[in-house]
């Protein structure tokens, strides 16, 4: 994204705040702004979620469809990122395409790990039919820290995803027929325990901060995006910006990112499970 217009005095104010571990909005360098997450809000999807972090607003929809697999015994995941022209003036016309491609490339790398999702479970008929998980991300409003917010929305939407059960019948001559259940309560869920969240660490002065605002991103020398799963495993690392980072700084950012990523993953999963329980039908409901 383009830099936010800040005066030199405003830049110094941001830098001095980070140096004193008291940022402009009162947070410390490792504090995260309040996050709002809703799931199951789009009715015509297999799963959905909406995430709000300050002025950043993300909507994620997941569609599960049967298709011929690219790898015989595995399903696959496809990401699509769309930056609404109303999110920020910078996205008007083709302004958001570069950012969308950058976010998508990080997500593709993060989710390419074999420990992320069990894609073999998405296979219905080896070499013939498998579930394809299409993940559509719409950036409704942009207020900083997009990578992290998008990853939270994706993990929440995947947790909310319901994939219909499939019955495979065999007939004489080796023919097989697939029957997809139309019962809304006859479904499988994805195991998202090992799916990552993205943690962006921005180097401002001599310190790393997380969950940067647009103003802090403007003052940052460089940033590192880490994909961290619940166990603290780093699935991918991506450096953002034109500035350089010393190897010691990179090691420091990874250590801090792992600690924050593990905490975010655990809190997110706990909140998603609590929300799921609140949405369950009452006892005695026929299904």
pLDDT digits (tens, 9 = 90+) for 143-198: 878 899 999 999 999 999 999 998 888 776 667 888 888 888 889 999 999 999 99
Range of the domain at 98: 8-279
Least confidently predicted of 17-21, 130-134, 210-214, 262-266: 210-214
**DSSP per-residue codes, 200-236:** EEEEETTEEEES--HHHHHH-SEEEEEEE-TT--EEE
In contact, 185 and 66? CB cutoff 8 Å: no
End-to-end CA distance of the chain: 48
- Binning pLDDT at 50, 70 and 90, where does residue 136 land? very high
Residue 280 corresponds to which tokens in the numbers above? 């369950």
* Residue at 146 is within a domain: yes
To which residue do tokens 């999702």 refer?
A: 117
Q: What is the mean pLDDT of the chain?
A: 87
For the stretch 1-54, pLDDT in tens is 445 678 899 999 999 999 999 998 899 999 999 999 999 999 899 999 999 998
Q: What pLDDT is stored for residue 285 in this prediction?
A: 39
* Residue at 171 is within a domain: yes
* Residue at 284 is within a domain: no
- Binning pLDDT at 50, 70 and 90, where does residue 105 land? very high
Q: What pLDDT is stored for residue 219 in this prediction?
A: 87
Residue 47 corresponds to which tokens in the numbers above? 């799963």
Q: What pLDDT is stored for residue 4 in this prediction?
A: 65
Asked whether residue 283 carries a pLDDT value surpassing 60, the answer given is no
Q: What pLDDT is stored for residue 65 in this prediction?
A: 95
Residue 106 corresponds to which tokens in the numbers above? 């990080």
Asked whether residue 79 carries a pLDDT value surpassing 90, the answer given is yes
* Residue at 226 is within a domain: yes
Greater confidence (252 vs 135) lies with: 135
Residue 270 parent element (H or E):
helix 247-279
User: What is the spatial distance between Cα 150 and Cα 103, in angstroms, rounded to a whole number?
Assistant: 8
Q: Between helices 97-111 and 146-160, what is the axis angle to 10°?
A: 50
* Residue at 285 is within a domain: no
Greater confidence (3 vs 56) lies with: 56
pTM: 0.89
* Residue at 287 is within a domain: no
Q: Which of 98-112, 239-253, 267-281 has the highest mean pLDDT?
A: 98-112
* Residue at 155 is within a domain: yes
For the stretch 194-224, pLDDT in tens is 999 999 998 888 888 998 888 888 888 888 9
* Residue 147's CATH number: 3.30.230.70
Domain count, the chain: 1
Q: What pLDDT is stored for residue 89 in this prediction?
A: 66
């Amino acid at each position: 994204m383009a830099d936010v217009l800040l005066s030199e005095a405003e830049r110094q104010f941001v830098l001095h705040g980070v140096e004193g571990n008291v940022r402009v909005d009162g947070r410390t360098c490792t504090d995260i702004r309040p996050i709002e997450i809703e799931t199951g809000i789009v009715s015509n999807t297999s799963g959905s979620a909406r995430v709000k972090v300050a002025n950043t607003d993300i909507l994620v929809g997941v569609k599960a469809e049967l298709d011929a697999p690219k790898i015989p015994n595995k399903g696959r995941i496809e990401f699509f990122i769309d930056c609404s022209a109303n999110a920020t003036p910078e996205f008007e016309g083709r302004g958001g395409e570069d950012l969308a491609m950058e976010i998508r490339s990080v997500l593709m790398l993060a989710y390419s790990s074999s420990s992320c999702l069990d894609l073999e479970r998405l296979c219905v008929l080896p070499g013939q039919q498998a579930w394809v998980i299409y993940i559509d991300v719409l950036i409704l409003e942009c207020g900083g820290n997009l990578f992290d917010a998008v990853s939270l929305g994706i993990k929440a939407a995947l947790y909310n995803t319901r994939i219909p059960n499939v019955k495979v019948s065999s007939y004489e001559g080796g023919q097989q027929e697939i029957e997809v259940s139309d019962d809304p309560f006859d479904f499988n869920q994805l195991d998202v325990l090992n799916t990552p969240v993205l943690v962006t660490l921005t180097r401002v002065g001599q310190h790393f901060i997380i969950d940067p605002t647009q103003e802090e991103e403007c003052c940052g020398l460089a940033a590192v995006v880490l994909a961290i799963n619940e166990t603290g495993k780093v699935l991918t690392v991506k450096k953002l910006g034109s500035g350089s980072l010393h190897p010691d700084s990179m090691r420091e950012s990874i250590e801090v990112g792992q600690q924050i990523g593990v905490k975010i993953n655990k809190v997110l999963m706990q909140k998603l499970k609590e929300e799921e329980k609140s949405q369950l039908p009452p006892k005695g409901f026929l299904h």
